[in-house]
Amino acid sequence: MTARSVMSLVLVLALVDLALFPLLIVWLRRTRFTQLIRDEGPASHKPKAGTPTGGGLMLVLNIAGAVAAYLFLMGRRGLTGLDVATLVFVAVNLLSGFLDDWIKELKHRNDGLLGYQKLLMQTVAAGLFFYLAYPSIVPTLRLASGGVLFAGWAFYVVAMLYAVGMVNAFNLTDGLDGLLAKTSLPAFAVAGAASLLHPSGLAGILPLAAVAFVISFLWFNGPKASVFMGDTGSLALGSIFIAWAFASGNQVSSILLGGLFLGEAISVMIQVVVFKASGRRKRVFLMAPIHHHFEKLGWTEPTIVDRFFVVSILFVIAGALTMTWR
């Protein structure tokens, strides 16, 4: 794909999303597909109860558009094994996110799928991805110097843990109006641009679909949000990022590109470990993930989102620099 076709694809998808989002919001509201707020969450979130959620469903349209553009512009008659692996990985995570959102609405509770159920579906998705992607994704992780870091079964163990962890990191970041959409935009923009220089099949095109989605989503998700993406969107975005990272061979660089999301996930792990180890008496953060810690300190949502956006850009610049070393 050329730079012109890439920009055209993003523009068309973004405009279509902007036109259809109001219809999706109306449908979500009519079906009472709305947000529930945790009692233990920040008090400032209480007014958000009843806001339509599940806006990530728009990604289905974007993914379909990206697949159609990929097949047409690349002159392909079918998908490669790596392309199929990418679609399965994203689809399973999107489906698990939708089920989670749907169960919350069906049972009118803030917890949808049980923790082990989510983890099982995400692990199955990652396993299918690496199984179907072989041998396009060689089970060897090399450093920029050429040295082998992991290979064979060790690669798959680490890769599976990283894939599931990063997908959940995207999910954990989706806690404030515009936070995930705004902070993920730089990472997906770099992933899409990198795919122009080093094509990686459909996995290199889907970040463009993600860019179009988050741009249009921000129009309706900025304070005060008219719609939330829900787990449907956050898990799908995380899986698109991971699929690109492994398909393009940028696994190591993706650690920096997604540094902000990993930071959110690490803050939760630290909080849980310290809390349990201290007999439920001590906490490192006022609340986790860490964006809620800053809320408790008195930062406003727009301030947190803007500053996290800056941090994300810095991480992405650092990650892009490591990509040039390859």
136 vs 241, which has greater pLDDT?
A: 241
As a whole-number percent, the residues of the chain with pLDDT over 70 amount to 94
Question: Residue 238: its pLDDT value, please?
Answer: 97
Q: Which pLDDT does position 146 carry in this prediction?
A: 66
The two most distant CA atoms of the chain are separated, in Å, by 61
| CA atoms within a 13 Å half-sphere pointing along the CA-CB vector of 161 | 5
Whether 235 and 171 have beta carbons less than 8 Å apart is answered as yes
Highest average pLDDT, of 106-120, 144-158, 285-299, comes from 285-299
Lowest-confidence pick of 100-109, 214-223, 278-287: 100-109
pTM metric for this prediction: 0.93
* Tens-digit pLDDT profile for residues 152-184: 888 999 999 999 999 999 999 998 999 999 999
Mapped onto helix, strand or coil, the DSSP state of residue 140 is strand
pLDDT band at 131; cut points 50, 70, 90: very high
pLDDT in tens, 27-78: 999 988 887 766 566 666 777 778 899 999 999 999 999 999 999 888 777 8
Selected residue with higher pLDDT from 255 and 109: 255
Q: What are the residue ranges spanned by the domains of the chain?
A: 3-252
Question: Which of the four pLDDT bands, split at 50, 70 and 90, describes residue 126?
Answer: very high
Respond yes or no on whether the N-terminal peptide bond of residue 42 is cis (omega within 30° of 0): no
Give residues with Cβ within 8 angstroms of 62, minimum separation 6: 13, 17, 209, 210, 212, 213
**Model confidence band, residue 196 (pLDDT cutoffs 50, 70, 90):** confident
- What's the chain's average pLDDT? 90
